[in-house]
Structure 1
């Protein structure tokens, strides 16, 4: 049995527990259960969290771990690929594992996932999201010579401030101070 992760809104937990995962529309005429093979990397396995989570606020998202029979026909490809390959579930896992960068790839099961195929529903955190790489912007690039280095703390106490505000050692436990 091939092991996949489907991300869904927390609001769908009761429905998934009751009847499994239903199909949803994708790009073009694609319809199915969108999932990703369970890989060794948590961040890669849950990469779609970053793209999907803003659409599921404020409830957030959960991961639904599903087992699909190895010989089940599925579609595997990049999300914007019109020529996705029709393969078995086991072959889809092999294809994704063999990729150097599986970012943006998905597996589509063309039928609902039955309740008995749902292994578990679990919390998923933002740690699984792939970080955004910001586009370089011309107005954010500093121009001219670099600013002079400033020490992190002033070397002399400020004038006119009572001593009680200048010495905080009494408020920090010895274990934290390192005494």
Structure 2
């Protein structure tokens, strides 16, 4: 059985305990499913999406650990590129063996039942990256974050360099 972790707002925990994790489709038309990552030896890499997901306005995020069969078909890939369909065991091996797995995601094309959930835990709210992995020192996109708090200060500091 493959152990995966899904990051979700704390307000969803009661519903998840009762009926599991619902497969969702995002507004950008991407593949519907449950977005997650394999549990890796590094806490930082396992929960890398926390800071980026907090940018959406959620104050407290939680980690939902669950198990799925090793032979279940999932999609895996970097969030900005093409996803590959493989078994969950192959996806876990692919992500954990990468030199830099930041930005990768596993998508399960179905909902997760409540009985598949192993544990729910709090996570450090400042773990991970924002905007994209290795974003420090790169000029922020003025179209992506024009009104973000501190965006002008970041742009001005990069102009001075």
Q: Does 1:88 align with 2:87?
A: yes
Structure-to-structure mapping, 1:111-122, within 5 angstroms: 111-122=110-121
Q: Highest CA radius of gyration, 1 or 2?
A: 1
Partner in structure 2 of residue 15 of structure 1: 15
Unaligned runs of 5+ in 2: 140-157
CA RMSD after TM alignment = 1.6
Name segments (4+ residues, structure 1) moved above 6 Å: none
Asked if structure 1 preserves the Cα contact closer than 8 Å seen for 2:36 and 2:106, the reply is yes
Cα distance, 1:19–1:56 mapped onto 2, change above 3 Å: farther
| Partner SS state of residue 25, structure 1 | coil
Question: 1:46 deviation in Å?
Answer: 0.6
Unaligned runs of 5+ in 1: 142-179
Instruction: Say how many residue pairs are matched.
Output: 138
Asked if structure 1 preserves the Cα contact closer than 8 Å seen for 2:61 and 2:125, the reply is no
TM-score (norm 2): 0.80
Distance across 2 between alignment mates of 1:29 and 1:85: 14
Distance across 2 between alignment mates of 1:91 and 1:64: 21
